[in-house]
Every structure is written in C-alpha cells, then in structure tokens.
A and B are shown apart, each in its own frame.
Chain A
Amino acid sequence: MSLREKPEVMLRHVRKPLLHDSAVKQVQGAAPYIDDLPEPAGTLHVAVGGAPKAHGTIATLDLDRVRQAPGVVAVITAADIPGKNCVSAHMEDEPILAADMVEFHGQPLFAVAATSRDAARRAVRLARIEIAAAPPAVTVDDGLETGARVLPDYAFLGGDPNAAIADAPLRASGTLRMGGQEHFYLEGQIALAIPGEDGAMLVHSSTQHPTEVQHIVARALGVPDAFVTCEIRRMGGGFGGKETQACQWAAIAAVAARVTGRPCKLRLDRDDDFMMTGKRHDFRADWSVGFDQEGVIAGLDVLLAARCGMSADCSAGVVDRAMFHADNTYHLPAFRIDTRRVKTNTVSNTAFRGFGGPQGILAAERVIDAIAWRLGRDPLDIRKANFYGPGRDRTPYGQVIEDHDVGRALIEQLERMSDYRARRAEIAVFNASSPILKRGLALTPLKFGISFTLASMNQAGALVHVYQDGSVHLNHGGTEMGQGLFQKVAQVAAEEFGIGLDRVRITPTSTEKVPNTSPTAASSGSDLNGMAVQAACRTIKTRMIAFAAEHWSVPEDQVVFENDHVLIGNQRIGFGELARAAHCGRVSLSSTGFYSTPKLHWDRERGTGHPFFYYAWGAACSEVLIDASTGENKVLRVDILHDVGRSLNPAIDIGQIEGGFVQGMGWLTTEELVYDAEGRLLTHAPSTYKIPVASDVPADFRVALYDGANREETIYRSKAVGEPPFNLAVSVFCALADAVEAACPGAGQKLDAPATPEAIVTAIGDFDVVAALAGALAPNS
C-alpha cells in the first residue's frame, strides 16, 4: 500500500538539509515584503498618534492643525470606526484607538492618512493633546501594590507545600526578577488595506495570525468575516510579536481605507513599534524550597507575578505556560505554583518565543542553583538528583512524563561531550588565581511541552491542487516568518507525490484559501500544517491511485509514486501524465486537508490533564567570563544537544536552535527594557536597546541534534523546534550567576535578569578592586 510510511532510505526530500525556499531571492533583495509590493494607484500612508501620558483621561484631543497639514486626506479617531472599537479577540479590554481613558504611554489615539508617509508622520506631531493624568503603575511591584489584575489569580497546588518545606532538613528562599524583551523583528509592523466592492477589504498584513486579523478587521468595519481577506507571503521576523500585535495596524489601515475609499498603508516607525506594541512579560518570582542534604527537593512554593500591561492580550496563556514550565525537568513532590497577572499602565505584553516558558524555567533553575550553593555542591549534581524518573514522573499539572529517559540520556551525553567535569576543575583553578576576572559554567536541561495549551487551537487546514501538468499548488494555514515552515511543508508535499520540489508552488497564506486557522505559534507550525498538507496530498493520491488501478486494471498496491513518475503495475508514466489522465477521467485533483492533534485534554479548573502531545528535550552547557569590577562579560563556549525527533530538515532545525539560543542569550544579558517613573519606555530603538551582534556569539559554539525519533506519531516523527531552544540560553544566565558566586559567595542569588554589566556589579556589591589588583602586582614593581 503506497500510503504507509516510506522507509527512511527511500526519502527523497524529507530529512535533507535543503535551503530555505526563499534563500536565493533573499540574498538578492528579490523576496518582497509588504512594503515592497507595488502600491495601487492612489495609495495613502497612515501614521498613528500616541498618548503623551501613561495613565489618565483624555481632556483635549485637538486635531485641527493635523487636518490642515500638507498632504493630509483624513484623520481617524475612535468615532470613525464603523464597527467595534476593540482589538482584543476574546476580551473587551483594549480599544483600537483610545476614546477616553489612556492606559499606557504611546497608546494609539488617532491616525492620519496622507499622500506620503512623511506627510502623515509630520502631521501627527501637530496634535494638541491634554491628558488629565493619574499616577501610573509601571513596574510589577507598582501593579502588585494597586492590586489590579488583567485576569484572576490562578495556582497549581499539590500535597502540602508549607509542611513539606517546613519539615525539610534545609530551606532556601529568594526573589528573582526577570526582564521583558522586545521582539525586534527586523521588518516592523505593517499593513496594506485595499478596499473592494460591497464593503470588502483585502488586507496584506505582516501577521502570524491571519484569521485573527481577518476577524478583528471585519468587526472594526462592521462587516461579516467573509468580506475580509487577509494575506501574507512572508514576514521579516515574528517571534510572537505578530500574533495578536498585527491586528491593530491592520484594523487602523482598514478603517482609513474605508473612510477614504483608497488603499491605505500603515508602517510603524521603529520607535513607535517599540512603544506601541507588546513585549515579553517581565516577571518577579518569589520562591521558597525545602530540600535534603542530597539537594532533593521536598517542596517548592513559588509565586510568579507577571507584568501584563494594560490588558489581558495573551497573558492567560503566557502565565499558564510559565506555570507549566516552573518544574522544568524536576520532580516536585509538593508544590504551590501561584500566579498574579498584574495590570500596569504599560503596553500590553504579549506572545514571545517561549510564551512564558522561559520565565518558568529560569525560576526553576535559580532554585536548583540556590540549593547547590547552599550545599556547596556542583549544580549539575542537584539537577540530576531532582530529574524526573521512574515513580517520580507526575508533573504539577497531572501529566505523566513517559520519556524522562530521553532527557536524562541527553544531559549525560552532553556532560561527556562538553567535558563538563574537567572544565569545572580548571575553572576553579583559574578563579582562585584571578583577581577580578571570574569564569562560570553551567549545564542546564530543558523539557518543553508541545501543543497549544488551549486545546481548540491544535488544528490546521491545507489546500492542495494538482494541475494537469503535474505541478502542485501548495497552501496551508501556517505563516512564514523566516523559520523555514514553507520549505519543510513543501518537502512533505513533494515527498508525498514523489515529485521534485520545483513542481511544488508555495503560495501566500490567505484566509480565502484556508479558513479558521490557528496562529503560527507555539512551535506548532510544521506539526500541524505538515500533517494537514499530508492529509490533503493523500486524499488526492488516493483518488489518483483508485483511478489508475481501475484504468490500467492493476491492484491499488501496485500504484507507486516515485521520482516524478508513477509505477502502475509494469508500466511507468510521468506524474503529470497520470494527472492529465485522471482529470480526463473526471477525478478531482484538488483537496483540502485537516489535522487535529490527538490525546489532548486539559481541565484548567481542576488543574489537571494532558495538555501536551509530547515534550521536546534539550540541554546546553555554557561557559562565561565576567569582570567582577565592571560587570563586563563574555560567553566563551557553548555546547548544545537538542532533541528535534527525526528532523524534517536538519539545516533549518539547527538554524532554529542557534538563532533561538542567541535570542535567549540576548534576553538574559544585554536586552534591557528601561521605563522611567512616568511609564515612558526609554529604550525604544536599537541605539538604546541592545540585541546580540555577531561578536556576542561564542567563538566556540557546538550544536548537535540528539538522535532519536518522536515516540508520538508526528509528521515523519519530527519534533517542534521554534521555541524550545530559546530556553537553552538559561545556561548562560546560570553560568553568569556561577561566576558571580565565584567572585563573591552569596552573590549569585542576587543576580537578576538581564545580567547586564550593571546587574552583575549590583549583585556582587562592594568589590574592592584596589585590594584585588594590589594582590596581583608583582612585589618588586
């Protein structure tokens, strides 16, 4: 039967390190992004005016001078929105344009459509805005003080954590602050809205979630969903920042297009993009743990308080995922994992690669480090002592870990590959003789749950056509943001039909072709869309097989697709020939495909279930060097071993691992979001917000894929790869804390994230650089 899984040796496209589908175009500047599309005649350009205060009511919004400015065609306020003025998909808590209350600095109040982008931007600055200001809650602590929440508090509780901690032989506690993170997708937010007949609207939006853009635009315009189409061929990066955050700009562009009757393009300036769009949630984790002399945890009590900003946005899922990962790879016999979804007068925080997982994992690893420091043991030993294992395999949310053997094998393999123990000894020698420079080392494990934790989102659709020449039109609900999804899925389609990739035409994601899609998020892109496309291909193939079997009078299992041909009994014809023949035989060569992830259930009220289809495992070992007197630091070497199941495309997967790791490293080292007391973001451009550059990447960077198939039935037994490797950067933070601890025993636990030079100096506290260097001065000099 030709629909069964092919033997590995017969795979022609899958498993191959093939290039990203657009690589050759990208290096020539020939891959168009939305701002590069030819503009329809008469296109107007939209700029957005934001609130000058973080909190208060709008006393005056005088736009007369804006309207009179050169080139201005229309000025849009909340009153001009024909439908619903709301940008939240499931709540009522965030307007497209604020009408009376201002809830963060830079919150969009109005928009200007003008004949050029320059004219629109200049006109925006002519507005006279007065806000009756109220004191803003800016930080997590401010928000905790006001008591305001965007969503109710929620906890996992198991056993009696208070008693377990109180009765344990040893206890530790602390607070870890973790900063947020700006996505800094290189292509900023952009939408181009083109009005059509009967009130229809075509929106080109740089979005990971075309369906949500469609719905919110339709709702804003007051038209049925079917009148709005959202299309996206490629984004210049997303990282979660174009999941919900693309909707507002699409909606404003669409309203402007409706009001003016002309195409309207809205591309945010980078500073506005920083100030007006959500970021990774910053967290404060207050923890206490009880443990024994071997470092085995008896009970953990952790309170995760997240700065959600002015509205809920994705905070339900983000903070839940922080809870789902607050165990990382460790068994917790008794636990309270409690959360606060804190409302502040800052931009509403949103999805960002890892989606809360990194914050939960970082808190877990801080607890482990603290135990190790207390016991004077190597943290890796404490990690191993607490690892999930037989009989210690139930997570705080009730799912039983069945493949902890993979995680354990993986860290042991990395321990050997990285030469961990010998380097630990060398570092101790170095640190003993180095006055101000200290090295640190950490090997941290990772378990990342794969599936949207909202079960209904785990579905995908595809649309595949085979034309009479045997070429294939490929479409699915996933979006391409650089991660190589389109290439991986094209490999699947080509593999199914046994044809060359040059016969598979990749097409833009459109709500017209595949409706009701989930966002390309939660690392699920290939898992979901790969399966949906495979299903569509197999539907068509089944029809072609049935036709061929009947037409040429052979049994169905003698129809085999391979090498651009179809073997039908003893004869071999071109794939296109069969397509043409099947068409003449009145066989449909077009099909949708659909997939929904099996085995998922989650009872949030009871806090138990099986929210994840499977886990991706990984581990990283990082070595760093710090200057204890200035806080300057450098990552010297990184070894990574990561589990992608059986890879669909190892080159793309390694790209995701390396890129995710470096992005995570940025979050934990140089990327600092600084707000002033008035709630103004001071780091709103790359001149002040520092993502990693080439020289920050360790010169010695060794990345390997763990060899093992996904034990669940996923697309070609692969595993999701988008988010998990981001978390491997936790090893860098732990290594920095290790170096800080070496510089000043007791200081490691004071290190907050990001570990900027100032944060390192602050953790170390008083450091007598004179005494340290005097000791290094040769006595005769």
Chain B
Amino acid sequence: MSRDSIQFIRQGRVRRVRDFAPRTTLLDWLRLEERSTGTKEACAEGDCGACTVVLARRRGGRVTYEPVNSCIAFLGQIDGAELITIEDLSRDGVLHPVQAALASGHGSQCGFCTPGIVMSLFAHYHRVSEVMNPVAVSREKIADVLAGNLCRCTGYRPIVDAAVASLAAPVADGFSQTDPERLARLRDLEDGEDVFVGDETSFFAAPADEESLAALLEKHPDATIVAGATDVGLWVTKKLAALPKIVHVGRVAGLDAVADTAETLTLGAALPLGRATPLLGRLDPDVDELMRRFGSTQVRTSGTVGGNIANGSPIGDLAPVLISLGATVELRKGDRVRTLPLERFFLAYGKQDREPGEFVRRLVVPKPSAETRLRVFKITKRMDEDISAVMGAFAVTLRHDRIASARVAFGGMAGVPKRAVAVEAALTGARLADPATWRAAAQKIGEDFSPLTDQRGTAAYRLQVAKTIVVKALAELAGVPGTATRVRPRASAGERPNDREAAHVAS
C-alpha cells in the first residue's frame, strides 16, 4: 500500500498534506503556508539555528524531543512526527520555564535568534527533565547544546545562565517522554505504508522498507536520495536545485539499525549522528570528542551516518576515523549487495563509487584490538561547530615498544578523505618512544598529500598542522600527557561526557 500524503501532528491535530513541491522546506511551509512566523530564517543553511523547531517522535516506548533546523529540512521528512514550534510552548499565557528564564534573565536582546534558542533548550529540557543528570545542566553541556544557535547580541552568558536555572529544577510542562496520549497519537501515525506524494515526474517518496526503497531507486535512478538533508537541503536553499524527485530514507524500517558485537559495530546508513554518538564515542574519548564537535545538536539530530559518507565530502568528519579503523561500506542496488573498504568508496573529489539507483546500506566498523590505540585531531578556525581545516585519525597497533602497524587517515588534505600510506609505512616497525620516529613519520606527510588553499586554511598551514598532528599522536601514545598537548585536553577513558547521556539518546 502506498500513501499519497504526508501526515504529522501539529497543535494536537493530525495534519495531512498532499499539495507541496518535493523540495519544499519545513521552514517555508511554516512561514509561507501556515503564516506561522515565530520561527525565523537567518542563514538558510543550517548553521545559525534561528529556525530551530522540535520534532517529537516515538522511540523505544518514549517520546523523544529533538531539535531540527527547519530551513534545510524537507517538509516530507516530518512524516510521522509531532511538529512543535515556538508558538506551542506557552500555555494560557504562561511561559514555558525555558522561556520564562530567558526573559527574566535578559537572555534576549534583538530577539531574532531567541525562538531557535528556546526550541534548542526546550528539546534539551526533555532530554534531562525526567531523569536528573548533573552533567546535562553544566554550563559546558549547555554550550554544547547551543553550538548550533548563533546569537550576535548577548555574548551568550545570560542565555547559558537562564538555561542552567530552568534546567536545575524542571517542572511538568505538558510535554513528557511518557505522556500516554501523545504516545498513542504518534503510534497512530505509524501505518507502515510507503509514502509517495506527487507523480512519476515529480515526487517526494518515503518508502517504509528496504525492498520498496530498492525497487523505487531502480525505477528512478535519477532521484535524489535524502537522509537528514543537512547537505541536500543547501542544494535547494543556496544552489536553487530543482530536485524534482526526492527519495527520503528516514522511514525505511531497519535502515537505522545498530549491531554491537565484541568484534564489530554495524551502523545502519539512516542512523542519525546523534544516536551514533554514544556508540562511536565508546571506542575512544577522542572519537567521543569528535562527535561532540560534529556540526551541532541540530545537525546531529538530522544528519546520518550514511549521509555523511555518501555525500563524499573531503572533510566529512566520520570518514577519516572510520577509514583508520578499517571500516567497510555496504551498498545495495536492486537485489545486489556489495561491500568495499571505505577508503575505496571515495574515488575523486565529488565522485564516489556509487551507481545510479544504488544506496548506502550500512557501515561495518571493526573494533580496535586491545593493542590498538586511537587518536583523533580536528583542527578548525573555531573550536565548535566548524568544518575542519585538517582532520587526522590514527589507529596504531603496538607490540612491546614498537609499532606493529598503523592506519592513518586525513580529511581536508586532498579531494577525498585519504589514508596517509607513506606515514603508515614509516611507522610500521618503528620504535614508538623515539622522537626520531615522530620526525621521520611527520616528514612523510609531504609525500602523501598536496593540499589546497581555501578559506579554511592555506596549503602551507595544512601541511604544517598535519605534520604536527602526527607528532602529537605519537608523543601522546608514547606517554606525553594530553594535558600538555592540547588546548582542550583529551579525556581519559571512562570520562566521556556524551556517553553519560547514552541512555537518553540511543534507542
């Protein structure tokens, strides 16, 4: 069966929408169709957060409340969810605790970013309000939660203060994780039907299972596959791409599945980055920190593991880490499934080994052995919510005082995420605690890479920093403490802030 409209809940009512262009963004629908103008557009590229809305979904028997950048989300993506916007929080003239704290704490000046900030904090309120968690109300955590919300007026101090104040003593606000009515309403939307809105020349489709997805893509190999739309959304808002045919993979049952065994971690392509964070973060504190700095809360809510790989960015944060771990990617076209080492998926800038009609199915990540040590460095102009100038990931396997083998991958250093094979060769068999090893390995960066100059850094800076990262990784593995090598010290094992939230975020 197939449904020819999308359905979601807004203000307690089921809304069914059929008449929309496939590329319609959620923000345009809100502002232009609904004339619901509390949600603002400021950048239209998912970076500033002024357009943040919250999507409530049923997951693991609870209601999750997650912040989404509505400017780059497609309207069709909210099928099955409850859409909550800034207009929906205060009830009978009484402000939501987050709103009240922001207003009384002088957390708004020009007020244009304020609705988005309220929605981000509202979502966070429901990650922590029902299970008290001191980490979640720390200033540091609030700053993380707000990394995707730019404010140009206040300097953030009063916003963070207000957030801490409202979160310290949460009260019932009419939105709970366990509200039976809301759960029932959301369950009623889960009809397991394929969604196909439009006609054969122009449609928004959201298949319900993998067979339908494979069949649809075989029929329409020219369709644009959309997972979180954190990249494809910009093709519409910035490049004004037409995108007549959109196939959304977010409803495909099981495509977000996780398998966590002693040997491997398998991540479904449609698994959002936020839900992948505690799983990947458990591999190493550096990976955990990388995931913390990956985009913003909103981007990690929408963006997926498979999307980050499939879009083939030379600086996508996941690829270097997963390549260093020896991950493989599984692709499917029709009934054919094939697997290849992740580094072989990236052919050249903007070109991946994916045929028309083929989709990324899952990623299989071997877990590092007991002798393997990981290090990850992400170098950016701004520490949080920034795209890497250079990123380096190191998986170094030790035997006594020597390096038995090393897998080293970089982002930002070539047209694709790429292994540093000359560095790896220089390390194999070398003595770890010998500064001559560090120097020799770092020198090999020049053989592996000829980076470009762009707005994130010059070629010379990229080369120098890549060499520095090699030295730092080795020095740390040899015993130099992370407190001496990093502005933001490496956490020790078992001290992973993201992990402590795992129970709430992962399904």
- Answer yes or no: are A and B bound together in one complex: yes
- Name the residue on A nearest B104 (C-beta): A19
Task: Report A-chain residues with C-beta under 8 Å of the C-beta of B442.
Answer: 770
**In the complex, are the beta carbons of A629 and B472 less than 8 A apart?**
yes
**In the complex, are the beta carbons of B110 and A29 less than 8 A apart?**
no
Q: How far is the CB of B143 from chain A (nearest CB, A)?
A: 4
**In the complex, are the beta carbons of B152 and A663 less than 8 A apart?**
yes
Please judge, given known A-B contacts A29-B38, A769-B472, whether A658 and B155 are in contact too, CB under 8 Å. yes
**In the complex, are the beta carbons of B48 and A186 less than 8 A apart?**
yes
Chain B residues 93 to 128 lying within 8 A of chain A, measured CB to CB, are 95, 99-100, 102-104, 106-115, 118
Chain A residues 638 to 681 lying within 8 A of chain B, measured CB to CB, are 651-652, 654-655, 658-663, 670, 672, 674
Q: Does A33 touch B at the CB level, under 8 Å?
A: yes
**In the complex, are the beta carbons of A694 and B143 less than 8 A apart?**
yes
Interface of B is mostly: loop
**In the complex, are the beta carbons of A437 and B103 less than 8 A apart?**
no
Contacting B152 at CB < 8 Å: which of A186, A682, A757?
A186
Task: Report A-chain residues with C-beta under 8 Å of the C-beta of B282.
Answer: none
**In the complex, are the beta carbons of A270 and B43 less than 8 A apart?**
yes
A121 to B139, CA, bound (A): 41
Q: Does B468 touch A at the CB level, under 8 Å?
A: yes
Q: How far is the CB of B286 from chain A (nearest CB, A)?
A: 15
**In the complex, are the beta carbons of A672 and B381 less than 8 A apart?**
yes
**In the complex, are the beta carbons of A23 and B48 less than 8 A apart?**
no
**In the complex, are the beta carbons of B142 and A434 less than 8 A apart?**
no
**In the complex, are the beta carbons of B110 and A235 less than 8 A apart?**
yes
Q: Does A776 touch B at the CB level, under 8 Å?
A: yes
- Name the residue on A nearest B465 (C-beta): A630
Q: Does B86 touch A at the CB level, under 8 Å?
A: yes
Q: How far is the CB of B17 from chain A (nearest CB, A)?
A: 18
Stretch with Cβ within 8 A of A (4 or more), from B76-84, B219-227, B382-390: B382-390
A658 to B154, CA, bound (A): 6
Most buried by A among B42, B100, B113, B486: B42
- Name the residue on B nearest A435 (C-beta): B484
Please judge, given known A-B contacts A29-B87, A694-B142, whether A482 and B382 are in contact too, CB under 8 Å. no
- Write the A621-636 contact mask toward B (1 if CB under 8 angstroms, else 0): 0000111011011100
**In the complex, are the beta carbons of A36 and B37 less than 8 A apart?**
yes
A643 to B437, CA, bound (A): 56
**In the complex, are the beta carbons of B156 and A271 less than 8 A apart?**
no
Most buried by B among A434, A483, A630, A633: A630
- Write the A70-97 contact mask toward B (1 if CB under 8 angstroms, else 0): 0000000000000000000000000000
Q: How far is the CB of A738 from chain B (nearest CB, A)?
A: 16
Chain B residues 427 to 473 lying within 8 A of chain A, measured CB to CB, are 433, 435, 438-439, 442, 454-458, 461, 464-465, 467-469, 471-472
Chain A residues 125 to 140 lying within 8 A of chain B, measured CB to CB, are 125
Q: How far is the CB of B207 from chain A (nearest CB, A)?
A: 27
- Name the residue on B nearest A778 (C-beta): B479
A484 to B160, CA, bound (A): 20
Q: Does A781 touch B at the CB level, under 8 Å?
A: yes
Contacting B112 at CB < 8 Å: which of A118, A186, A271, A774?
A186
The size class of the interface chain B forms with chain A is 35 or more
Chain B residues 462 to 507 lying within 8 A of chain A, measured CB to CB, are 464-465, 467-469, 471-472, 475, 478-480, 484-488
**In the complex, are the beta carbons of B485 and A188 less than 8 A apart?**
no
Q: Does A347 touch B at the CB level, under 8 Å?
A: no
A756 to B380, CA, bound (A): 9
Task: Report A-chain residues with C-beta under 8 Å of the C-beta of B146.
Answer: 693-694
**In the complex, are the beta carbons of B45 and A237 less than 8 A apart?**
no
A185 to B42, CA, bound (A): 9
**In the complex, are the beta carbons of B109 and A484 less than 8 A apart?**
yes
Q: Does B39 touch A at the CB level, under 8 Å?
A: yes
Q: Does A27 touch B at the CB level, under 8 Å?
A: yes
Q: How far is the CB of A182 from chain B (nearest CB, A)?
A: 10
Chain B residues 134 to 166 lying within 8 A of chain A, measured CB to CB, are 139-140, 142-144, 146-147, 149-160
Please judge, given known A-B contacts A28-B89, A687-B45, A773-B435, whether A237 and B455 are in contact too, CB under 8 Å. no
Task: Report B-chain residues with C-beta under 8 Å of the C-beta of A756.
Answer: 381
**In the complex, are the beta carbons of B155 and A28 less than 8 A apart?**
no
Task: Report B-chain residues with C-beta under 8 Å of the C-beta of A695.
Answer: 140, 143-144, 147, 383-384
Task: Report A-chain residues with C-beta under 8 Å of the C-beta of B339.
Answer: none
Stretch with Cβ within 8 A of B (4 or more), from A399-407, A604-612, A696-704: A696-704
A238 to B139, CA, bound (A): 28
Contacting A481 at CB < 8 Å: which of B41, B110, B118, B484?
B110
- Name the residue on B nearest A185 (C-beta): B152
Given contacts A20-B108, A28-B38, A481-B110, 14 further A-B contacts (CB under 8 A): A27-B95, A27-B118, A28-B89, A31-B111, A38-B35, A236-B110, A437-B486, A482-B110, A627-B486, A632-B383, A693-B146, A693-B156, A694-B156, A769-B468
- Please list the residues of chain B having a beta carbon within 8 angstroms of any beta carbon in chain A: 28, 31-32, 35, 37-45, 47-48, 50, 85-87, 89-90, 95, 99-100, 102-104, 106-115, 118, 139-140, 142-144, 146-147, 149-160, 238, 240, 379-387, 389, 433, 435, 438-439, 442, 454-458, 461, 464-465, 467-469, 471-472, 475, 478-480, 484-488
- Please list the residues of chain A having a beta carbon within 8 angstroms of any beta carbon in chain B: 17, 19-20, 22-33, 35-36, 38, 116, 118, 121-122, 125, 183-188, 234-239, 269-271, 434-437, 481-484, 625-627, 629-630, 632-634, 651-652, 654-655, 658-663, 670, 672, 674, 682-683, 685-688, 690-697, 699, 701, 756-758, 761-762, 769-771, 773-774, 776-778, 781
Q: Which 7 pairs of residues, A with B, have the shortest CB-CB distance? A: A29-B38, A482-B110, A236-B112, A26-B111, A662-B155, A29-B86, A482-B109
